[in-house]
Amino acid sequence: MAATLKSVTLQIYIYTGTSGSYSASDLKFTLQKELITGHSKIIFEIAEMVRDYISVSFNNDYVSNTVWVTTIANLFDETGTIFSFGNPVTNTYLAFDSYGYFEDEINPQGNVYDLITSSNIILPKDTAGKLPVYAASTGSVVINGSSTSITDNGNSNQKIQYITIPANSSTIVVKDSGGTTKKTITVSTECPDKFTPYKVTFVNKHGAFQDLYFFKKSVESFSVTGDESFKRNTVSTSTVTYNTYEGQKERFNVNAQSSIQLNTGYIPEDLKSAVEELFISENVFIRYESKTLPIIPKTKQFTHKTSLNDKLINYTVDFDFAFNMINNVR
C-alpha cells in the first residue's frame, strides 16, 4: 500500500557565495506543516522570510543584492514515518529583492537579461551610466558597437552585474549567450541648462539598482517637527522681579524634516515604468552635494501620462530625506 502524505518539515538555508555552499550556520528556518483535508499538496510561502536576509545598502556603489536559498523537505506519512523514496526533496533558488504585479500571477520570473523595464535611458551630457544585467543569462552587451562579454562565476555577489555606459552613448544591444539580440535600449543625452540634475537611484521591480535623473526645477524645503513648549516661572525669588528678555515659554524636542521636489523634464513615454517603480520602491537614494543620501517618495499618487493625452511628458515627485535635519542619532 502506497504511503499517504501527511506532513512536511522544511529546512531553509540562506547564504551567499556559490550554489550549494551552505553550512549548518546558514539554517535560518525550520517549518512544519500538515496536509489540509481535501488537498493533495502542502505549500510553503517563504518569500518574506528570505527577504529579511537580503540586505540593501547603497553608497553610489552598485552591488548584487542576491542570496542563495536551499530548501530541504522531509515528507512524512500518516503514521509519522518518513517517506523511504524520493526523500528528502532538495531545491536551490537564487533570490532577488524583486516583485511582480498581480496580473503576472504566481512566481513571475521578470527580465532575465537586462534588469530594467524601460527601453530608454537618459543621462546628462558627458556623464557615464550603469545598466544592470543578469549574468546567468546575458552573453554580451554591445554599446555603440563595442561589445562587453558577461561571465558568470556562480557567485551570488556577481549575479547582477552593472555595465558601465560610456558618456554620450546612443545605443545598447543586450544579447544572450548565443548572440541573439534580446533588447535594444536607446540612450539619450540631456544638456543641463540652468538647473542642476539630480541622480536618484532605486531598487526596481527586478531587484537591481536603477538610476533616474531629474533634470529640471528642484525645490528644497523643510517642516518643523516635534515642536513642544512649556511655561516656566521667570520671577526671581530674591528680588521678586523678572527680566523681560527671558520668555515664559521655552521650546524643546524641536527638529525638522527636510524635503526636495524634483522634476524629470520631458521624457519618453516608455520611461513611465521607471517612475512607477521608483514610487513603490522601498529603497531610494539621491546623489546630493557629493553624498549618497536615503530618501522616501512623499508623493503618493501616480498618474500615467501618455503622448496622446499629454503631448509632452514630465513628472514632478516630492521626496522626504530619510533622517531628521538635526542629528539625533544615539
CB neighbours (10 Å) of residue 330?
3
The confidence score (pLDDT) of residue 295 equals 98
The confidence score (pLDDT) of residue 110 equals 75
Sequence-ordered list of residues with C-beta below 8 angstroms from that of 240, at least 6 positions apart, any chain: none
Alpha-carbon dihedral 130, 132, 136, 139, rounded to 10 degrees: -50
Sequence-ordered list of residues with C-beta below 8 angstroms from that of 55, at least 6 positions apart, any chain: 65
* Cα end-to-end distance, the chain, whole Å: 65
In three-state secondary structure terms, 123 is strand
Q: Which grid cell is 224? A: 518643523
3 phi, psi to nearest 5 deg: -70, 150
Domain residue ranges of the chain, discontinuous segments joined by +: 5-97, 120-220+256-324
Question: CA–CA separation, 87 vs 195, rounded Å?
Answer: 63
Peptide bond between residue 197 and the one before it cis (omega within 30 degrees of 0): no
The confidence score (pLDDT) of residue 2 equals 61
The confidence score (pLDDT) of residue 109 equals 79
Question: CA–CA separation, 216 vs 194, rounded Å?
Answer: 8
pTM, two decimal places: 0.91
Angle, CA 122 vertex, CA 121 and CA 125 arms, to 5°? 135
The confidence score (pLDDT) of residue 154 equals 94
CB neighbours (10 Å) of residue 282?
11
In three-state secondary structure terms, 315 is coil
Beta strand extents in the chain (DSSP E only): 5-15, 27-34, 66-77, 89-96, 120-124, 129-134, 138-143, 146-149, 160-165, 171-176, 181-190, 198-203, 209-214, 219-225, 228-231, 249-252, 255-263, 284-288, 291-297, 316-324
Angle, CA 221 vertex, CA 216 and CA 222 arms, to 5°? 155
The confidence score (pLDDT) of residue 272 equals 94
Q: What is the DSSP letter of 117?
A: S
Tens-digit pLDDT string for the chain (330 aa): 566 889 999 999 999 999 999 999 999 999 999 999 888 899 999 999 999 999 999 999 999 999 999 999 999 988 888 887 778 999 999 999 999 999 999 888 778 999 999 999 999 999 999 999 999 999 999 999 999 999 999 999 999 999 999 999 999 999 999 999 999 999 999 998 889 999 999 999 999 999 999 999 999 999 999 888 999 999 998 999 999 998 989 899 999 999 999 999 999 999 999 999 999 999 999 999 999 999 999 999 999 999 899 889 999 999 999 999 999 988
Q: Does residue 291 contact residue 284 with C-beta atoms inside 8 Å? A: no
